[in-house]
Amino acid sequence: MYVFAFYNLKGGVGKTTTAVNITHVASLMGTRSLIWDLDPQGASTFYFGRKAKVKGGVERLMTRDNALQKAIKGTDYPNLDLLPADFSYRHFDDVLEEFKSTKQLGKMSKTLKKDYDVMFLDCPPSLSHLSENVMRAADVLIMPMLPTTLSLRTYEQVSEFLQDVKKPPLLLPFFSMVDRRKSMHRDVVNGFPKEHPNALSTIVPYSSILEKMGLTRAPVTATAPKSTISVAYHSLWQDIQDAFARHKRK
């Protein structure tokens, strides 16, 4: 089982929408996929039509045997299960702190390796003990970015942070919510890959369909499978897999 984390320490960059749609695209290909909504806001859980509730909260989840398996909920999509968010996840750092290790999340996710091919982590926007655990557990860190100066700055911060991580994951930044009418967006999107060859070539455009996800409570790749944005997510997943395959060959 491989672990793919959607992470950016900046909020509102499209982490959850990307996580939800990419997980759905992977499941369509017959990949047994699990998405763990680590954000106490529970947006991924909401989009998949499930309740943001884990019996016993984060403490029980992290300390009891099989608690992770028992918390998993099926979704309306074949090959796609969800580990829902819970409001108690706001104390995730405190619980992880007690283990005095940054490997705990990775250890726990390994207990699910028989049942899933891929685990996706939808991470909250922060640089915390949980983020450190995510970086140790993940094979790939997918980083959605807005094509703005501030967003680029966060990329540098994350990149620097990863230099201190033992066995860091493969960092794959890409641009999301791109509006080609804006010259700044165009300039950043064209310039960034020249200095960062690890950037994914797929660009996810801004789309009003994404805003409707809150109403339909479903991935756009399911409700509007032929839309431009769905095509972009399919292409993004292919890009991610190709980049990871190249990385593994090295």
Partner 1 sequence: MLKEYQIDAETFKTLETRKPGKARLHVTGALALTQISVLDSIDGRALGAGLILLWQPTIGRAGQFCVRKTKTGERLVVLPLKTPPQTLGDLPATLLGGALHDALDGRALICLHHLKVQLKTMNLVVKNQTIADAVCALEGDGKRAWMWVDPRKGFENAASSALKPIGNAKAKMPAFSGVLDHASKAAQLNSKGFPTLTASQPAAQAIQLLHETLLAQMTSQVDGTCKDLDIEFLHDLRVASRRARSLLQTVKTVLSEEAQAYGIERYRWLGQETTALRDLDVYLYDYPALQEALSPEMRIALEPFRLLLETERKRAFSRVKTVLKSRAFSQFAQSWGDKLAADESYQGKDAGQPIGAIAAKAIWKRYGRICADGQAITDDTPAEALHDLRKQGKKLRYLLEFFASLYPAAQIKPRIGSLKKLQDLLGAYQDCAVQAAFLEDKAAKLRKDVSVPAETLMAMGALADQRLQDEKRLRRDFQAFFKPFASAPERAGYKGMLNL
Structure tokens at 125: 């926007």
Q: Would you say 32 or 110 has its CB closer to partner 1?
A: 32
Q: How far is the CB of 61 from partner 1 (least distance, A)?
A: 14
For 73, 148, 181, the CA distances from 206, given in Å and listed in that order, are 30, 14, 11
Window 51-80: residues binding partner 1 (CB under 8 A): 70-76, 78-79
As a whole number of angstroms, the distance between CA 65 and CA 22 comes to: 29
The C-alpha atoms of residue 128 and residue 130 are separated, in whole angstroms, by 5
Residue numbers 112-141 binding partner 1 by CB under 8 A: 117
Establish if 49 lies at the interface with partner 1 (CB under 8 A): yes
- The site for partner 1, by CB under 8 A, has a size of 19
202-231 residues near partner 1, rule: CB under 8 A: none
Annotate each residue in 80-99 with x if it binds partner 1 (CB under 8 A) or - if it does not, as one string: -x------------------
Q: Choose the binding region for partner 1 from 22-30, 95-103, 153-161, 187-195 (rule: CB under 8 A).
A: 22-30
Least distance in Å: CB of 72 to partner 1? 5
247 binds partner 1 (CB under 8 A): no
Contact in structure between 155 and 10 (CB atoms under 8 Å): no
Nearest CB to partner 1, comparing residues 79 and 104: 79
Kindly indicate which of the ranges 28-36, 101-109, 148-156, 201-209 contains the residues binding partner 1, using the contact rule CB under 8 A. Answer: 28-36
Q: Does 29 bind partner 1 (CB under 8 A)?
A: yes
**Residues lying near partner 1 in the complex (CB under 8 A):** 1, 28-32, 49-50, 70-76, 78-79, 81, 117
